[in-house]
Amino acid sequence: MDTVFFIASKLLAFIFSPITWIFFLLLLAVLSKKPKKTKVLLLISTILLYLFSNSFIVDEVMRLWEVPPVRIENLKKDYDYIVVLGGMMSYYDSKNNQIGVNKSIDRLMQAIKLYKKGYGKKILISGGDGSLLKTIGKEADFLKNYITDIGLYTDDMIFESESQNTYENAKYSAQIIKKDSAKKVLIVTSAFHMRRAMACFKKQGIYADYYPAERYAGKRKYTFDHLLLPNINALESWEKLIHEFIGFITYKIAGYI
């Protein structure tokens, strides 16, 4: 059942992607033999492309979904575990033994900062291979090697590399935390991902505090380009949001949260 929901969530994210909608409408326009229908399809495609590439619109939607920022000074100073959720790697180049990271690497950067400042005793990095076809590899293992190479590894770091998604991040992390009889936990993940993450950990009996990383909705901007000009980065933000919405709904249906 877990595998079914894993595949289903990936497929639904593709189906409901704005790029998929726009591409499908453009394809229908190209294949249509009726000029009036073609014109209507092109108009709808253009409107959708503009709306989904508008930075101001997606920022406002992000602002509603992302958890609010947390001032580091307001955190406790004695967390047993700072738990970092995976999703930070984009690829592994086996030929050159090099990993590629994405914007979510901010999760790890923030967690290391918190650890160095004395907010947590241990860092638990949870992440296996979350790709549909298992083409990336176990993320936590690669990150362990990378952290060791740059001289940041300590014995206070634990790496969980079996989880494939947020539900399993929480499940396997909870097993480690409970085995250690830890009581105070801080979750670090992207601000847009925090709601689902916290709900998964709560379902596993872990009532944690949170510290959001990789925030997309910052201070409101009313500049001309932000309000009116198309921006390809807005499409990426919508991809993340829609993926997260679908993940939250499917997790609710599956009983993961």
For 40, list phi and psi in degrees, rounded to 5.
Answer: -65, -45
- Model pTM? 0.90
Question: Closest Cα partner for 114 from 165, 48, 188, 44?
Answer: 188
Q: Which two tokens stand for residue 173?
A: 């992390």
Q: Using alpha carbons only, how large is the chain's radius of gyration in Å?
A: 20
- With respect to residue 24, please indicate whether it lies within any of the assigned structural domains: yes
- With respect to residue 156, please indicate whether it lies within any of the assigned structural domains: yes
Q: What is the CATH number of the domain that holds 201?
A: 3.40.50.620
Whole-number pLDDT of residue 9: 73
Whole-number pLDDT of residue 16: 87
Whole-number pLDDT of residue 28: 96
Whole-number pLDDT of residue 133: 64
- With respect to residue 135, please indicate whether it lies within any of the assigned structural domains: yes
Residue identified by tokens 């409970």 is 178
Domain that holds residue 240: 2-66+224-254
Q: Which two tokens stand for residue 100?
A: 């590629």
Whole-number pLDDT of residue 11: 82
Q: Which two tokens stand for residue 161?
A: 């590399």
Question: Closest Cα partner for 145 from 198, 98, 189?
Answer: 98
Whole-number pLDDT of residue 2: 63
Whole-number pLDDT of residue 15: 87
Whole-number pLDDT of residue 3: 66
Q: How many domains, the chain?
A: 2
**CA distance linking residue 219 with residue 238, whole number of Å:** 18
| Structural contact between residues 77 and 120, judged by C-beta atoms closer than 8 angstroms | no
Whole-number pLDDT of residue 137: 84
| Structural contact between residues 140 and 111, judged by C-beta atoms closer than 8 angstroms | no
- With respect to residue 91, please indicate whether it lies within any of the assigned structural domains: yes
Query: 119 and 199: one domain?
Result: yes
Query: 17 and 94: one domain?
Result: no
Q: Which amino acid is at 136?
A: I
Q: Which two tokens stand for residue 105?
A: 């690497």
**CA distance linking residue 200 with residue 148, whole number of Å:** 30
Query: 14 and 134: one domain?
Result: no
Query: 147 and 205: one domain?
Result: yes
Query: 39 and 125: one domain?
Result: no
Query: 80 and 182: one domain?
Result: yes
Query: 169 and 89: one domain?
Result: yes
Query: 112 and 145: one domain?
Result: yes
Query: 80 and 175: one domain?
Result: yes
Residue identified by tokens 């079914």 is 4
Residues of the chain with pLDDT under 70: 1-6, 132-134
| Structural contact between residues 94 and 224, judged by C-beta atoms closer than 8 angstroms | no
Query: 10 and 102: one domain?
Result: no
Query: 99 and 194: one domain?
Result: yes
- With respect to residue 94, please indicate whether it lies within any of the assigned structural domains: yes
| Structural contact between residues 129 and 10, judged by C-beta atoms closer than 8 angstroms | no
- With respect to residue 240, please indicate whether it lies within any of the assigned structural domains: yes
118 conformational bin, left if phi > 0, alpha if psi -120 to 50, beta if neither: left
Beta strand spans in the chain (E): 79-85, 89-93, 98-101, 120-126, 157-160, 185-190, 209-213
Query: 62 and 81: one domain?
Result: no
- With respect to residue 218, please indicate whether it lies within any of the assigned structural domains: no
Whole-number pLDDT of residue 5: 67
- With respect to residue 28, please indicate whether it lies within any of the assigned structural domains: yes
